[in-house]
Amino acid sequence: MSAAPAGSAEALPDDDQAAAPVGDSAARVGDSAAGPALQAVRFRVTGRVQGVYFRASARQAGEGLGLRGWVRNRGDGAVEGHLQGDPAMVAAMLDWCREGPPGAAVERLTYETVPVDTKLVGFSIRP
């Protein structure tokens, strides 16, 4: 199985929301004098993604891109997370997720747009 091509979106199995491509305006907070639009996505990666420091590396990469979000292991062996920030940085982080850290073997990346979480601070690893 290969990673999803850039710009593709697939519904996550546990979510009832319809999938939308990255960049969909429904997941953005409009431009203002305070700064550019924010974009939010929820992603899921499968393959050899647990036990290879995927979560810690994702947090470091996300922080480096100025994103807010979280990442966690799933019981089925996947890793899922929420990313939000500048649309170009969200796209860069999704590109990073296609490869992951050294030792990872990403088989598939799925993601969908979600509402921006205005209360989210920082980038965390969740249990």
> Could you give the residue numbers annotated as active site?
55, 73
CA distances to 41, 59, 60, 80, 127 from 21, rounded to whole Å, are 9, 23, 25, 17, 28
Question: Are 114 and 18 contacting, i.e. CB atoms less than 8 angstroms apart?
Answer: no
Q: Look up residue 90 and give its two tokens.
A: 């969200």
**Interatomic CA distance for residues 16 and 19, integer angstroms:** 9
CB atoms within 10 A of CB 119: 6
**Interatomic CA distance for residues 114 and 118, integer angstroms:** 12
